[in-house]
């Protein structure tokens, strides 16, 4: 008999890490020695299943129910408490769909909802109730959304978003960018992704070859909320993305109990800079149903940013913004 190859003999495959994410909240709590929290899990994960890659869990502190990474992903019964003003489509995206999966809200740039899939499910996510099955661009073979981009010469920037666009297989991304290559008014490609942080295995040679072969300047906007999310594996992936020519920015959501203190925000900016990433936005929470317990009042948010500005060079201070349905850009708050 020929012995099967041992898994360790094969190259690391990001899809396996993606599939092997925790989905059972009780198993996650057990891994962290936090079984006592099981009593606070909402039935059916409040309609938004838990999902968190094992590598991200490895960066959490065992036995700490207030760990800032755990808080971002663990469903809690607080999510079921209704709060006025917290709704399903918090940012008015559903009114701005220009073609299947294409959201055109701001001048010059359109956001392509490439897929509904994410490697991690963030409890505060404003897309937790988004009807992805009907509204994602890959499902329609990209054709209609690419046609809408081609028909609007003012669209100089295409933003791949989701869900997480890097949860698509690389050949799928190649298929999209091959179609975009023919559009002469596209001058920049932007990718909004949390994968380099939560699943750094995704930054593999195939992805890097795709990126470095693109005809446009590429901006990759990652999403980290706390310095503890960035470890050596994340550093390596980010360095590889920069090596492939991507400019790296970060967006953060201001979250109560995660990063709503000056030391956490300063520490994050410092850590991002060390990883070669410039802070971009600090978002006030979108008021989505189930996320009210993460909200930080505007007054406190402004005070935090003022204190951060007192401690860091201006280029390490992210812009505090809120997304307001119907406005021409994100609204600056500080």
The site for ligand SF4 (CB under 6 A) is made up of 118, 120-122, 125, 127, 162-164, 194, 223
* Beta carbon of residue 161, minimum distance to ligand PLP (angstroms, whole number): 8
Smaller CB separation from ligand PLP, 221 or 227: 221
- Compute the distance between CA of residue 241 and CA of residue 258 in angstroms, rounded to an integer: 27
| Residues 305-334, interacting with ligand PLP (CB under 6 A) | 329-330
Candidate residues 106, 132, 216, 273; the one interacting with ligand PLP per rule CB under 6 A: 106
User: Does 159 help bind ligand PLP (rule: CB under 6 A)?
Assistant: yes
* Residues 6+ away with beta carbon under 8 Å from 110: 98, 102, 103, 104, 148, 149, 152, 155, 157, 158, 159
* Beta carbon of residue 21, minimum distance to ligand SF4 (angstroms, whole number): 12
Smaller CB separation from ligand SF4, 122 or 317: 122
User: Does 109 help bind ligand PLP (rule: CB under 6 A)?
Assistant: yes
Q: Is 83 exposed, middle or buried (0-12, 13-18, 19+ CB in 10 A)?
A: middle
**Bridge-based pairing state of the strands 218-223 and 109-113:** unpaired
Work out what residue 105 binds among ligand PLP, ligand SF4, none; the CB cut-off runs from 5 to 8 Å by kind: ligand PLP
* Residues 6+ away with beta carbon under 8 Å from 98: 104, 110, 148
Secondary structure element (H or E) that encloses residue 243, with its range: helix 232-243
* Beta carbon of residue 182, minimum distance to ligand PLP (angstroms, whole number): 22
Smaller CB separation from ligand SF4, 186 or 229: 229
* Beta carbon of residue 50, minimum distance to ligand PLP (angstroms, whole number): 25
User: Does 207 help bind ligand PLP (rule: CB under 6 A)?
Assistant: no
- HSE-up (13 A, CA, CB side) for residue 323: 18
User: Does 103 help bind ligand PLP (rule: CB under 6 A)?
Assistant: yes
Candidate residues 51, 105, 127, 128; the one interacting with ligand PLP per rule CB under 6 A: 105
* Residues 6+ away with beta carbon under 8 Å from 318: 250, 251, 252, 269, 279, 280, 281, 282, 305
User: Does 194 help bind ligand PLP (rule: CB under 6 A)?
Assistant: no
Work out what residue 103 binds among ligand SF4, ligand PLP, none; the CB cut-off runs from 5 to 8 Å by kind: ligand PLP
Work out what residue 111 binds among ligand SF4, ligand PLP, none; the CB cut-off runs from 5 to 8 Å by kind: ligand PLP
Joined together, the tokens standing for residue 172 give 């799928």
Reference 196, options 160, 230, 171, 170; nearest CA is 230
Smaller CB separation from ligand SF4, 75 or 186: 75
User: Does 127 help bind ligand PLP (rule: CB under 6 A)?
Assistant: no
Smaller CB separation from ligand SF4, 186 or 251: 251
Query: How far does the chain reach from its first CA to its final CA, in angstroms?
Result: 68
Reference 187, options 117, 302, 132, 108; nearest CA is 108
Helix/strand/coil for 292: helix
Work out what residue 120 binds among ligand PLP, ligand SF4, none; the CB cut-off runs from 5 to 8 Å by kind: ligand SF4
List residues bridging with 219 in a β-sheet.
Answer: 190, 247
Smaller CB separation from ligand PLP, 83 or 109: 109
Contact residues toward ligand PLP (CB under 6 A) are: 103, 105-106, 109, 111, 159, 329-330
């Amino acid at each position: 008999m020929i012995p099967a190859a041992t898994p360790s003999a094969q190259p690391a495959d990001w899809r396996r890490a993606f599939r092997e994410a925790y989905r059972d909240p009780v198993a996650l709590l057990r891994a962290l020695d936090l079984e006592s929290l099981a009593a606070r899990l909402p039935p059916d994960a409040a309609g938004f299943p838990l999902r968190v890659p094992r590598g991200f869990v490895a960066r959490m502190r065992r036995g700490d129910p207030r760990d800032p990474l755990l808080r971002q992903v663990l469903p809690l019964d607080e999510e079921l408490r209704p709060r006025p003003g917290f709704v399903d489509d918090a940012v008015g995206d559903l009114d701005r769909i220009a073609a299947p999966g294409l959201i055109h809200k701001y001048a010059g740039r359109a956001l392509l909802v490439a897929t509904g899939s994410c490697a991690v499910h963030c409890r505060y996510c404003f897309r937790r109730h988004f009807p992805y099955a009907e509204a994602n661009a890959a499902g329609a073979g990209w054709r209609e959304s690419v046609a809408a981009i081609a028909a609007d010469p003012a669209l100089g920037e295409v933003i791949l978003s989701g869900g997480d666009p890097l949860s698509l297989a690389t050949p799928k991304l190649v298929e999209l960018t091959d179609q975009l290559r023919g559009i002469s008014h596209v001058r920049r490609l932007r990718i909004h992704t949390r994968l380099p942080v939560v699943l750094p295995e995704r930054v593999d040679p195939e992805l890097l070859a795709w990126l470095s072969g693109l005809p446009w300047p590429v901006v990759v906007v990652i999403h980290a909320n706390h310095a503890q999310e960035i470890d050596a594996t994340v550093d390596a992936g980010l360095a590889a993305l920069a090596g492939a020519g991507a400019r790296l920015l970060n967006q953060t959501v201001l979250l109560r109990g995660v990063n709503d203190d000056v030391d956490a925000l300063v520490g994050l900016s410092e850590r991002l800079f060390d990883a070669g990433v410039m802070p971009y936005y600090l978002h006030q929470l979108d008021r989505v149903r189930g996320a009210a317990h993460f909200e930080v009042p505007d007054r406190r948010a402004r005070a935090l940013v003022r204190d951060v500005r007192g401690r860091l060079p201006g280029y390490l201070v992210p812009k505090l913004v809120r997304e307001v349905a119907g406005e021409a850009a994100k609204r600056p708050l500080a």
